[in-house]
Structure 1
Amino acid sequence: MLDEKAVEAEIDNKGLNAPRLTPKLIDSKIVGEQYHIFSGTTLTVCVLHLVNGFTVTGESACASPENFDAGIGRKIARDNAREKIWQFEGYLLKQHLLEAQ
């Protein structure tokens, strides 16, 4: 798993200050979250609600039901959903940069 704080520190130390996404910006887009564990399974789904009304989903599941832990499932599903926000916001930033040229 990526250590976002370490990456942010490296970016700051190198003086890379062009327009970019940050973990703080990504987190600011999230206004709500919901979770569902499907009965009889280890499948956990996270729905993140974004400030503009859009939603993204993330999933997690484990192969061995004996290893299932709801808290861990929620964390992995949320991380997977949050990762999608980076892609959408990256596209949006690139579009804004193009339009500013």
Structure 2
Amino acid sequence: MNDTEIEQEIQAKGLTAPRVTPGDVEAAIESEWYIRGSDAKADDFQPPVGAQNPLNQLTFCVLILRNGFTVTGESACASPENFDVALGRKIARQNAVAKIWPLLGFRLRDRLSDRISVPTMAAPEASD
């Protein structure tokens, strides 16, 4: 199941408590950047990237969130013949987006816990 199908099932079941939605995840993204592994700047000790270098089949996605935080995802193709730029970007983005869900879930849980009065243990009194 993808995120949209899961969201549809949640709505169909009438689960209406506060939660993170696919729309929340997408709204958290300010911009996205894609980098091919072969575009990386090598240090002085690395040979130039040749046509058969695995870096040519490596794609990174960097998502910059609205609060300035960044998450990354990557995709790598085992067989060079199967590499497709658009598919590599799609998979890398999907892997980056997967990292946003727990971040927004943590944020939501913080907000929910602020509304709940949690009893705290009193510090032991110092003895004279």
Fold agreement, TM-score > 0.5: yes
Moved over 4 A (4+): none
**Map 1:1-101 → 2, pairs under 5 A:** 2-39=1-38, 40=53, 41=55, 42-101=57-116
Unaligned runs of 5+ in 1: none
- Say which one has the larger Rg: 2
Give distance in 2, aligned partners of 1:97 and 1:36. 37
CA deviation after TM superposition for structure 1 residue 38, in Å: 1.3
Q: Which amino acid aligns with 2:87?
A: I
Give distance in 1, aligned partners of 2:75 and 2:6. 25
Local SS of the residue matching 1:48: strand
Q: Which amino acid aligns with 1:45?
A: F
User: Between the two proteins, what is the percent identity of the paired residues?
Assistant: 53
Give distance in 2, aligned partners of 1:72 and 1:44. 10
Q: What is the root-mean-square deviation of aligned Cα atoms in Å?
A: 1.0
Give distance in 1, aligned partners of 2:4 and 2:60. 26
Unaligned runs of 5+ in 2: 39-52, 117-128
Q: How high is the TM-score relative to the length of structure 2?
A: 0.75
Q: How high is the TM-score relative to the length of structure 1?
A: 0.93
The structure with the greater share of residues assigned to helix is 1
- Corresponding pairs, count: 100
